[in-house]
Structure 1
Amino acid sequence: MSVAIAPPRVRAFTTCACIVAELRGEIDIRTVPAFTAALDTIRVEAPSRLVLDLRQVTFIDCTGLGMLCRTRRRALERGVKTSLLVTDPRILRTLHATRLTRAFDVHGRLSEVPLTVPVAAA
């Protein structure tokens, strides 16, 4: 018996100085290529902030965590800070256990994300 899995979905929109990418579904070894391809189409330049909204993600594995780190690294190369929106306690535990809460600003609501990005002193 095979189980049909809904394809991953990413919806991006702009609000204030943030680009928000809403991810839905499971982020695992099977879906990471599709999520990565979708995230790569989002063009973010400084001084914006990229917000990855994981509130509708039902599962994330190590390949999904790697995808988050890759997305963060690519954003940082453009001077863009990346934040995560997470409410699922299991995903929060995973982020804490892997210490990714040190790499990302993690929030529960979009209204908690800082709208301005600090400018480095010259």
Structure 2
Amino acid sequence: MFPNPDPTRHGDPLDRAEQPPMSACVTPGAHGSATIAVSGEIDVHDAPDLCNVAVTAMTTYRGPVTLDLTAVTFCDCAGLGALIHIRRQALRAGRRLLIRAGRPVGHLIQLTGTGPYLHGPGSGQPVTLPSRQTARLPT
């Protein structure tokens, strides 16, 4: 194990008790739409839950589904895999999926080059980053 550079933090850095849990809240909108507001950290422990919530929302609501990730504080490769899975399910079902990404998720999407897929046909909007300018990833 690597030495902990922060003497105020104790324990294993992977200890789930020290990490804010992921939270997902589905809010119905107009014309059968829904928004899934996600906060906290999306990692290997939470990614399956995010997939379940999103797929359930896409089968329950008939309008566009917005995945609002602006309050997510951390997202690892398992979380990115969950987003790709959710996007794949939306494409298979012919559903419109809109993704709003905050800095952690947006940065991961940019680093991995997955923006074009996550933005893909039927999304209706780019993956966005909260900043002075909206970054448009290539389509």
Identical amino acids, percent of aligned pairs: 25
| Counterpart code for 2:112 | T
Please state how far the C-alpha of 1:101 moved relative to its aligned partner. Answer: 1.6
Higher helix share: 2
Contact 1:46 1:79 (8 Å CA) reproduced:
no
Contact 2:34 2:61 (8 Å CA) reproduced:
no
Report whether the alignment pairs 1:83 with 2:92: no
Say which structure, 1 or 2, has more relative contact order (CA 8 Å, 6+ apart): 1
CA change 1:47–1:41 in 2 (3 A) is closer
Higher strand share: 1
Equivalent residue for 1:115? none
Contact 2:43 2:79 (8 Å CA) reproduced:
yes
| TM-score, reference length from structure 2 | 0.65
Consecutive unaligned residues in structure 2, runs of 5 or more = 1-10, 120-125, 131-139
Please state how far the C-alpha of 1:91 moved relative to its aligned partner. Answer: 2.6
Equivalent residue for 2:22? 8
| Counterpart code for 1:20 | T
SS of the residue corresponding to residue 109 of structure 2 reads helix
| TM-score, reference length from structure 1 | 0.73
Equivalent residue for 2:76? 61
Q: How many residues align?
A: 108
Distance in structure 1 (CA, Å) of the matches to 2:60 and 2:46:
26
1:12-31 CA-partner distances (Å, limit 9, x unpaired) = 11223532111111111122
Contact 1:44 1:80 (8 Å CA) reproduced:
no
Trace 1:74-113 onto structure 2 (pairs within 5 A): 74-88=89-103, 90-103=104-117, 104=119, 105-107=126-128
Equivalent residue for 1:70? 85
Runs of 4+ in structure 1 over 3 Å off: 43-47
| Counterpart code for 1:31 | D
Contact 2:100 2:127 (8 Å CA) reproduced:
yes
Contact 1:50 1:75 (8 Å CA) reproduced:
no
